[in-house]
Structures are given as C-alpha cells and as structure tokens.
Structure 1
Amino acid sequence: KVDQDRIEIVLKKGKNLLLVKVGNSNANHELAFFEMIKWEWGFYLKLLDENEKPLKNIGVILPEKIEKPEFNIVSTFFFKKSDEGLNQRFDIEITSPSPEALNGEINFTIDQQKYSFKIDSIPFGLSRHQVFIPEINSDKKVKAFLTINNDKLEKDITLYRQKHYQLHMMMLSHMDIGYTHPQPVVKEIHSFTLDEVVEMCNEDPDFKWTIETLWQLEQYEQSRSQKQVQKVIDLIKEGSIAVSPLYSNPFSGWVSEEEMIRSLSKAKEYEEKYDLKYNAAVYNDVPGQAWILPQVLKNAEVNFLAEGLNEFFNNYSLQQNLPKTFIWKGSDGSEVITYLNEAYNEGKSYGLESRGNLAVQQRMWERLNKLKARGYDYELVLLNTAFGDNSIVPKDQYNAMKKWNEEYEYPKFISSNVSIFAEEFSKKYRDSLIVLNGDWTSNWDVYYQGEPDLMKKQRSVQHNLLSAEKLAALTWLIDKNKNPLTDIVDEAYQSLLSFSGHGSGLEYGYGSPADNLITMEYREDYIHNAYLKADEILRRSIYRISKPEESFEGEGIIVFNTLSWNRNVPVEIQFPFETSPRYEIIDL
C-alpha cells in the first residue's frame, strides 16, 4: 500500500547519498490465488518532516549533467491494421534536461517518404512517445532530426523490421489431485469445468481448449451421461478440444519405466473406444523429465511435448540452460519436439488480467523481448495458461485476449490448443531446431516433498509389482485356463499413477485441517491399494506355481527367481514351527 513503508533517517547538511534496496524474489511469500497476481514491481520515495510535510530546500543531484536533449527511435513489434495495410509502431525516446515540459518535432525519411510528428509536453528526464508509420519490410537506415526548444539534433538511426508474433493461447485447467480440495471434489471440479468448456465451444466457434490429462476425461466419462460425454468426444474430433494422452503427469524421475509406459494405457483405450488420435502432449508442473519420455511418446505417435516446468525448488536451472524449444532424442533414437513453458500461468504473465491493453502491452514488450534475448527466433509462441490448479475456464484471460486483438493486429492472440499449435509449429520450424540428448530430472524428482514413509511404500510396490506381474504371466503360460490377473495388475498401476499425479495435501490454506486429513487418507489409500494389489498378485501366483508340487509327505519351500539371469544369494525364510522339519529343495 502507498506509504506503508516508513523509515526514519537523519540528513546531514550538504550532499546525502540514499540507497533504496528493493527485494524482488521468486519465492511464494504471499500467493494471490483468488485475486489478480501483481507481477509488476517498483518503488517511489518522498522525503517528509516530522509532521509528514514535504521537506523544503531539498534538491536532486543527477549522476550526469545533461547539457542538451538526447533521442533515439526504437522499433517495436506492435502493429495496427489500416485500410492501406499494416502500420508499425516506433517509439521516440527523448531525454530532456529541462525541468519544464517542452514541445518538439521529429522528422525522418524512409524510401523518399518524409515523416514528421509533433511531440507535445516532453517532460524532464527520459520519456517515450509513440508514432505509427506503414510497416517496413526490411531494415532501414535513416537520418532523423529532433527539434526541441531551440535545439535541433541530428542522428543516424537504423529502423528494424519486426516479426508478426502469433501468441497461441493454450487454455486448460491444471490437474493436481488432492492439492486444492479433497480428491472427490477435485474430480467434480474438472467435470464441471468440462461442462463449461462444452457450452463455450457451442457459443463461440473460436474458443479452443486443451484437456491436460486423460485422468480429467476419465472422471468426466464416469460422472456424466453418455450423451454428454459424446459432446466432448465430438468436440475433440472437430479440433475445438485437444486432449493430451498422458494419464496423470507423474514425476517421471521417480516413477518406474512400467508406470511411465502405462501412463499411456488410457490413451490406447480411448483410441479404440472413441477413435481418438493424439499428436501432442502436455506435461505440466514437474521439475524435469526422465530420458524414457521421448520413446514412450513416440510409441504413442506423439511428436510434440509442451512442457510446463515448475522449478521452484530447483532455482530455474533448466530454463536457464536449455533452449526454449528443441528436438529431444531418446536413448533409443526416438525424437519429440519439446517446448518449454514457464509453468502454466503464462496468460497472466502477459498481462491478461482484465487491466486493459496498456498492461498487456507492457508485459508483452517485456516477455517477447526476453524470448528474443534467449535466442527464440520464431513468430509462433505457445502460452500455457490456466486460471489455476483444479480451476475454472480462465474467461477473463480469454476476454482480455479478444479485447487486445480489437486494437492490435500483431502481436495477435490466437485461441488455440496443443494439437493446433503442434501441427503449425512442427510444419514451420522442425527442420531448424537443434537436437539434444539426455536425461533432465532434478533433485525434486528424487527427494519429493518430504514424504519418506509413502515413498518407501511406493518403492516397495514398484519392486514387487514387476515380479508379481512376471509370475502371473508365467502361470498363464503354464496353464492357459488360468487368468494372468491383468485386471488386478492394471488396478495396481492405476493406483500408483493416481498417487504420483501430484498432490501432497492441501497447501496454502486451501482447506481446513479436517479437509487436509481426509485428503491425505485418500492419498495414502492410493499407495496402500497398490501395495495390497501387488501383494495379492504375488501370493496368488506363487500359490499357483507351488500347488502342483504340494504333497502330504512334509513341509516344503519353493524359491523362484523372477529375474532373467542366474543368481546366488542367501534366501531368508521364516518357518511356521519353532523347530525346523526336514525338507528338500525342488529346482523348477
């Protein structure tokens, strides 16, 4: 708030040096979940006496004394449409030494076309003044003249051709199972959001949406009528809605290879059931990725990955060192175009918060120039954006986007989805992308949010479930009349993916202690159910294998090696009796 920071100081006679330190941190000290996030920052300072009146006889000493005005012409990427074509905006930057506002005039010639603009009320210091002229199609060197007061300045300036940026708004609702609400409520939230999406698609043919995970579509299928579900399926086939084929966006650094493969199982099921096709995937709110991902995606015929990184605990090291977009080559040679997004709230970072086009313009200027400085040389830009976690349709962002497009032709916001952007971007730029190999998981993947007990049980399930699945398959190979228990195996893996699909309890005051307690019980139930299912498969399979060898002659022990190679290790067993009976070893 204005004037909330007050500091008592003592000024000595003469020159005083004031140091103002403004702390600007990426730490979430005060998150504004239910209001607009104020991305801008800055300060102003005023000197008051003990009665809070302005001090008298105080002057400012400029670090450098400016004798004459200075100026420059900055080429911008803002374009407006006119009857004759596109008009490009150029900003006249003027530094004036006069404490009084002055009037001036700027003149320059491009290709024999003379331009002259009057500039009123030029203030003291640095100011910027907008002018629009027909778009230049190549860089132009001009001699510019600024007349201000009695000074006439001359300067050789290069005006630069600018890109026609097209900002594809990929709107979605970010799924985080058990983070903002207990899990049953999260299921209903995403289903209600899809209801809203269907309505908006029917009302506005320009509206596009991305279903971030197939978990969201699965909940919709389970909670809505077949008629309502078919509306979503039809919109997917029409292209208004895109669906990412990944089930729950697990942390790929700590799920097993089999879990990662099975995260595409639901996509295969819906491909067969609804004839759905997938060309692109979204992977949000993870700190990095394991090297298996290109292979898994390529096997599902997915060639584009929108990656909404969350490096809050990783000092943003990946985004600082990786290019924004590249071809990621897997260990088996599979390739997928990878596009790094700064999390999943980029619409807000571009100023789409119902604060008007000026706010959008300022944020857009900063963000696109930052991309350019990073080496991003493409006109197509993907904005990965949501209202928040487990949230509604970001209508304010959509309306702000349309309002911007009414005034400016470029940069232009496009209501898009991951499939539309993937197709256009791949077609235009794939051949120009660099190829990178390797794994880029992070410490967050490895340590995971301080849940050691749950993580130990998860590791136990990952270890035992593979062996259990092998044994169950073997019992089927031995006797085709026996079911290989695939339904139980599938349920175990689905529980694992629900556990790893984000959510570690209600945070930042989202719910009451009671809400958080039940949320954690659901979370623990996911991993406990997977644990019990793995144990069930293991015990039933072992019994199936050992049953034919049973006899009434005495007790017996069968040791089965589930690995595909020989090994010699001690086997620890617990006899049912205090004194061990005689036994023999049967080698299967």
Structure 2
Amino acid sequence: MTVAEPGWTMFLVSHFHYDPVWWNTQAAYTSPWELLSGDATTRPLWERNGFALVDAHLDLALRDPVYRFVLAELDYLKPYFDLHPERRADLRLLLERGQVELVGGTYNEPSTNLTGVETTIRNIVYGVGYQRDILGGDPRTAWQLDVFGHDPQFPGHLAAAGLTGSAWARGPFHQWGPIQKNFREAKNDATVMQFPSEFEWVSPSGHGVLTHFMPHHYSAGWWMDSSPDLAAAERAVYALYRKLKPVAATRNLLLPVGTDYAPPNTWVTGIHRSWNARYVWPRFVCGTPRDFFDAVRAELAAAGRRPSPQTRDMNPVYTGKDVSYIDTKQAQRAVEVAAVDAEKLAALAVLEGLGGYPDAALDKVWRHLAYGAHHDAITGSESDQVYIDLLSGWREAHDLAAGVRDTALDALVSHVDTTGEGTAVIVANTLSFDRSAPVAVRLPEGLDAVRVIDDTGAAVPYVVDRGTLRFLAGGVPAMGWRTWRLLPGPAADVSTWTPVDGVTIENARYRVTAAPARGGALPDVDAAEAPGPSTTPPTPGSVSDRPPGRCSPARTGGRWGNGRWASPR
C-alpha cells in the first residue's frame, strides 16, 4: 500500500466553452450541424451545436446523479430556453439537487480591457438578471475562461453584483497557461507561476473575489476522453493531479473537464466511482465551481489563513486571438459614447416633462454592446460572415443610440432662450465636469463674413475651412451648456489658416514636434509646463461667477436638471 498525503481532492468540473462569434455566427452555432461535413474537415466529429450541448449535459445529469456540470453564457442559454421552455423544469430540478451551477454572472465572456466600464456593468446586470430572475439560479462565480484581458476594476464590479468567485484560464505566461509556456521551456511545470492558483483578485476599489487561475487552461481535463479505457483515463487524470498540485493554495484542485463545444466526457463519472472505490487519497469527484470554492474557503478558514491578494490583471495584454481588427473596437467605443450620452440626456428630458423614456431602444443598444464585448467579437472575428454580422449589430446600436441622443438634446435645447442678434450656437456638455473643446459649425447660407462672440460679449478667435467654422468652446458646464453667437461682419482676428515656420506646436499641456522626413511622424511629444493658478478674478456674469446649478440672468448657459430652466424661445 502506497501512502499518499491525506486531504487532497480534485474537483472534475464538466463544462463546454462556447464562442458565438468565432469562426461562425450565433445562428449557425445553434443550428443542426448535420448539414456540415461529416469527415471532420470543418469541425471535430465530437463537437456539438449549442442546443445539442445543453440537451446532452441536462440528459446525462438526469440519468446519473453523480454527474455535475456548469452552464454559462446567455449566448446559448436564452435561445435554448426560449425555444424549449419545457426544459426549464429539468434545469430547476438539477439546480435544486446541486448537479448544475449557472456560472458566468455576465452576458458572455467579455474582454473588458477593450470596452467602456458601463458596458462591463451592463454585461453583469444582464447575465445575473437572466440567470437568477428568469432561470431561477444563484450565480456566484464569474466564468471567464477564454477572455483576452480584464480591466483592473472588473473584480470590484463582480463583488458589487454579489458574485463571490471567478475562474479564468488565459494567464500571464502564455495564452495556454504556464504549463504550456513556450510549448518547450518549463513544459509540464506549473511551479513557474510563482504564485498560487487561488488568490483574492482585488480591484483598485479594494473589493474583489476569490479567484482560480487554470494553470493548464480550460481544456486540461477534456483530453482523457480519447483514452481507450477507464484505467487509461484515470492515469491521465492522476498525471494532471500531480502537475497541478504544486501551485494549489489549499489541498483542493479544480480540473476543467471540457473544451470548445464539448459534449459530456466519456469517462468522468466512471472515474468518480472507480477511483474513489479503490483509493482514499487523493479523491477525484465530479463537482461544480461552488463545491470547489466552498472547500477552498473552508480549509483557509480552518487554518486561519487568507488567500494572497492579486491586484493586477493576470491575463496577457493583447487585443485579439489570431486576428485583431481596429474597426470592431472603434465601433464598440463609438456606440458606447453615444449610448451613455443618450441615457443622460433622455433622463434629463423626462425629468423636465419633455416625453417618455426610450427604454426599449436603449435596452437593445446595451444588449448589442454586451454581445459585441465578447472576446472573439470586439477583438476581430476569423470569419467574414461573422464580421459583417457584428458590424450590422453595431450599426443598428449606434443608430438607435444616436437617435435617442439627438431627440433628447433637441427637446432640451428647445427650452433654451436663443433670442438676440445673429445666430445662436448652443454647445452642450454631457460629461460630469466642466469642459473646453473645439467645436465645428457649418456656416449658415449667405453668411460668409462673421464675428464669433461668447455669452459675455467677448470676441472669440476662429478659423473657417471649406464652409466649416471652428472655434474653442471654453468652460462649458458639467451636464450643461453655453451659448455663442455668429454675428455678421468681418472678424477681428485671423479667420483662415496661415502658414508659419517650424514644425513644433504647443498649448498649455503638450508640445508636439513633427518630422517631415519621416512623413509627418511625431517622434517628440512632451508635456508642456503647466500654467499656474489664475490670479484674475472672474468676470461678472461669466460661467465661473454663476450660482451652482442656476442659469445666468442672460439665459446663455447653465446646467440641465439641477436648477431653473430658461423661458422657451
């Protein structure tokens, strides 16, 4: 009898990874695959489509009380249970038995280092809301197996949403994990990690979640499916146990048993029964992430230990898997900016009694954004068909958001008093702080020579280029506006571009030098000396002299939603 160290348990967590926008579209991933080639030229023969996968895992769990597994993303959960509502009873029965855990806590697996924070929050809200309030689950673990990068605040958002754990695979050493580092150096040696596979992932806010990093990636346990018999499968799992054991924070290991579009593993329940019938330690058991994290927490508490803190993103910083498209990232960010502006302005318009809130349109916008945040979407798909499908989604989202934004802004601006000489130019600011930025205005027909004045009557320099007038709009209040005026007459300052000597420009913040010999590249960008605090008192009636949250007596600027409105024009 060989005596092993007691107390070790490896949880065999059955799963399948699902990418709705990798080499095919979401519609194709949920369609029958019998139409595809049956000779493994388009996919491995053992892979299944999304609906068949859910069926297979549910059916095995109903037949075998030992089998446990996870379901994760809304990309397949919502279409499946919309089409098969009769199976919700089966899911809830397995949830009650503890045989299935709804994990993810997000709409999909987003690369949040490439998206705005509001998209991350909505991703969590939609994911948790559907899994908990629609399907009746209790999501606690973020399941981010294949994600290419997280923003530093991500674990704090998870904690704020009530999640207590996370698990992911792409690590700091190689995209397939430290055991696979360089595929040669240190292969099969998890100790190169220099940190435990379980740690407290902490955000800058100080909040975080207990996290498991998969040293051998998310498909580590799947490949024993190809073993010729149960004994060979057990030997393969025991070899993985020995590789993963050196970096475990406790005497508990998580072995993900699954890979892309994988049905239930052939040997996983047999190992659970056969191994534990013959050996005391280590134990190999079918389990869920909740089972694993509960065991980790219990052992740490019993020993009076806490998990080590990790405050940086452990994932490699790269923007795509095999491919990277800039326009997918630009499309996502453009829609995010339009959506946030639309929500702010629409909320203010409702508060002012200017119409109802466009919740349906904005809800669809955020769902498009959550979908586009998927790690194989915003990074860049490997399929032209998927690429076109994604861009049409971003286009619809942008059109919806821009329509809400413009409608709300028109309603708000219509209540600003623009009476007076010349043409009024109202500049709105949707940010939470005062802002100064260039403004471009198309000159009205027949108005070729103009003067630009601000709301104090001071002349403002500008430049005209091909019918577009540009000037610097300074000091526009947070969530408010200022008014400038275009008056007939020659400008007091130069109003056209004029050539000057040199290749350096600067303002109060930056100094930039171009290199004509290098095609205009900018090899030299320095921070200019910042100006000191102004000693000039504010001009009476200027923006800085107005009572906070009140429009000026001249009705030329102010903050929306925080004070009196000017009379309608």
Q: Under a length normalisation based on structure 1, what TM-score does the superposition of the two structures give?
A: 0.64
Displacement of 1:477 in angstroms is 2.0
CA distance in 2 between partners of 1:289 and 1:322 (Å): 19
Name the counterpart of 2:144. 283
Q: Which 5+ residue runs of structure 1 have no aligned equivalent?
A: 1-87, 90-134, 136-160, 508-515
Name the counterpart of 1:567. 435
- Is the 8 Å Cα contact of residues 14 and 69 (structure 2) preserved in structure 1? yes
Task: Tell me which amino acid in the other structure corresponds to 1:286.
Answer: V
Aligned with 1:548: secondary structure?
coil
CA distance in 1 between partners of 2:321 and 2:430 (Å): 29
The answer to whether 1:422 aligns with 2:422 is no
- Is the 8 Å Cα contact of residues 282 and 308 (structure 1) preserved in structure 2? no
State the Cα deviation string for residues 81-130 of structure 1 (Å, max 9, x = none): xxxxxxx42xxxxxxxxxxxxxxxxxxxxxxxxxxxxxxxxxxxxxxxxx
- Is the 8 Å Cα contact of residues 314 and 443 (structure 1) preserved in structure 2? no
State the Cα deviation string for residues 513-553 of structure 1 (Å, max 9, x = none): xxx43322212223222222222222122122123348899
State the Cα deviation string for residues 225-244 of structure 1 (Å, max 9, x = none): 3x222322332243221111
Name the counterpart of 1:229. 88
Name the counterpart of 2:184. none
Displacement of 1:383 in angstroms is 1.1
CA distance in 2 between partners of 1:204 and 1:361 (Å): 19
Aligned with 2:340: secondary structure?
helix
The answer to whether 1:534 aligns with 2:401 is yes
The answer to whether 1:297 aligns with 2:184 is no
Aligned with 2:19: secondary structure?
coil
The answer to whether 1:186 aligns with 2:52 is no
The answer to whether 1:268 aligns with 2:129 is yes
Name the counterpart of 2:282. 411
Displacement of 1:170 in angstroms is 1.2
Displacement of 1:219 in angstroms is 2.0
CA distance in 1 between partners of 2:222 and 2:55 (Å): 24
Residues 47-196 of structure 1: pairs in structure 2 closer than 5 A? 88-89=1-2, 135=3, 162-188=5-31, 189-196=49-56
- Once the two structures are overlaid, the 10-residue window that deviates more, 231-240 or 290-299, is 231-240
Name the counterpart of 2:386. 519
CA distance in 2 between partners of 1:384 and 1:483 (Å): 48
Displacement of 1:265 in angstroms is 1.5
- Is the 8 Å Cα contact of residues 298 and 334 (structure 1) preserved in structure 2? yes
| Residues 362, 203 of structure 1: alpha-carbon distance in 2 compared, 3 angstrom cutoff | closer
CA distance in 2 between partners of 1:415 and 1:359 (Å): 18
- Is the 8 Å Cα contact of residues 177 and 498 (structure 1) preserved in structure 2? no
The answer to whether 1:379 aligns with 2:251 is yes
| Residues 273, 373 of structure 1: alpha-carbon distance in 2 compared, 3 angstrom cutoff | closer
State the Cα deviation string for residues 338-395 of structure 1 (Å, max 9, x = none): 111132112136x343333554455445433333433x25322111221x32343334
Aligned with 1:490: secondary structure?
helix
CA distance in 2 between partners of 1:366 and 1:304 (Å): 27
Displacement of 1:292 in angstroms is 1.3
Whose Rg is larger? 1
CA distance in 1 between partners of 2:423 and 2:24 (Å): 52
- Is the 8 Å Cα contact of residues 292 and 330 (structure 1) preserved in structure 2? yes
Give the CA RMSD over aligned residues: 3.2
The answer to whether 1:492 aligns with 2:365 is yes
Residues 25-64 of structure 1: pairs in structure 2 closer than 5 A? none
The answer to whether 1:339 aligns with 2:309 is no
Displacement of 1:325 in angstroms is 0.8
The answer to whether 1:435 aligns with 2:295 is no
Aligned with 2:146: secondary structure?
strand
Superposed structure 1 runs of 4+ greater than 6 Å apart? 550-554, 581-584
- Is the 8 Å Cα contact of residues 171 and 394 (structure 1) preserved in structure 2? yes
Task: Tell me which amino acid in the other structure corresponds to 2:68.
Answer: K
Displacement of 1:184 in angstroms is 0.5
% same residue:
19
- Which of 338, 341, 344 aligns to 1:467? It is 341
Q: Give the number of aligned pairs.
A: 418
The answer to whether 1:216 aligns with 2:83 is no
Aligned with 1:571: secondary structure?
strand
Q: Which 5+ residue runs of structure 2 have no aligned equivalent?
A: 32-48, 182-191, 453-482, 485-555, 559-569
Name the counterpart of 1:207. 67
Name the counterpart of 1:65. none
CA distance in 1 between partners of 2:250 and 2:396 (Å): 47
| Residues 490, 312 of structure 1: alpha-carbon distance in 2 compared, 3 angstrom cutoff | farther
Name the counterpart of 1:355. 228
- Is the 8 Å Cα contact of residues 354 and 397 (structure 1) preserved in structure 2? no
CA distance in 2 between partners of 1:489 and 1:499 (Å): 15
Displacement of 1:555 in angstroms is 5.8
Displacement of 1:312 in angstroms is 8.4
CA distance in 1 between partners of 2:416 and 2:73 (Å): 47
| Residues 470, 503 of structure 1: alpha-carbon distance in 2 compared, 3 angstrom cutoff | same
- Is the 8 Å Cα contact of residues 53 and 262 (structure 2) preserved in structure 1? yes
- Which of 406, 411, 435 aligns to 1:544? It is 411
CA distance in 2 between partners of 1:445 and 1:243 (Å): 28
